[in-house]
Amino acid sequence: MIRLLLVDDQELVREGLRTILDAEADLEVIGEAGDGDEAVRQARLLRPDLVIVDVRMPGTDGLEATRTLLDTKGWRPRVLVLTTFDLDEYVFEALRAGASGFALKSAPRHQLVAAVRTAADGDLVLAPAVTRRLVDRFGSPQPRRPLPAELTNREAEVLQLVARGLSNAEIGRELHLATTTVKTHLSALLTKLRVRDRVQLVIAAYEHGVVEPGPDRSAARVHPLA
| pLDDT reading at 80 higher than 80 | yes
Dump pLDDT digits (tens) for 193-224: 988 777 778 778 877 877 655 443 333 333 33
When pLDDT is averaged across residues 42-46 and rounded to a whole number, the result is: 94
Confidence at residue 222, expressed as pLDDT on a 0 to 100 scale = 39
Sign of the Cα torsion 190, 193, 195, 198 reads negative
How much helix, strand and coil, in percent to the nearest 5, is found in the chain?
50, 15, 40
- Domain 142-207 falls under CATH 3.90.340.10: no
The per-residue pLDDT for range 81-122, each reduced to its tens digit, is 887 766 667 777 777 778 888 888 888 898 899 889 988 887
Rounded distance, CA 9 to CA 18, Å?
14
Domain extent listing, the chain: 2-122, 142-207
List strand residue ranges (DSSP E) for the chain, in order.
2-7, 27-33, 50-53, 78-83, 101-104, 125-126
CB 39 within 8 A of CB 32: no
Residue 58: what pLDDT? 84
Cβ atoms of residues 17 and 33 within 8 Å = no
Least confident of 16-20, 59-63, 99-103, 123-127: 123-127
Is there a contact between 58 and 35 (Cβ–Cβ < 8 Å)?
yes
Contact indicator for 152, 186 with CB cutoff of 8 Å:
no
Per-residue pLDDT at 150 exceeds 70: yes
Domain covering 2-122 assigned CATH 2.60.40.1260 in the classification: no
Is the sign of the CA dihedral 170, 140, 55, 189 positive or negative? positive
- Taking the model in full, what pTM does it have? 0.67
Higher pLDDT, 119 or 225: 119
Say if CB 125 and CB 198 are below 8 A apart.
Answer: no
Task: Kindly give, in sequence order, each residue whose CB lies less than 8 Å from that of residue 29, ignoring residues fewer than 6 positions away.
Answer: 4, 5, 6, 17, 18, 21, 22
Which residue spans within 45-91 are E strands per DSSP?
Answer: 50-53, 78-83
**Looking at the predicted structure, is the pLDDT value of residue 61 above 80?**
yes
Residue 130 banded pLDDT, cuts 50, 70, 90: low
Point out the least confidently predicted range of 132-136, 141-145, 213-217, 218-222.
218-222
**Domain pair 2-122 / 142-207, same fold:** no
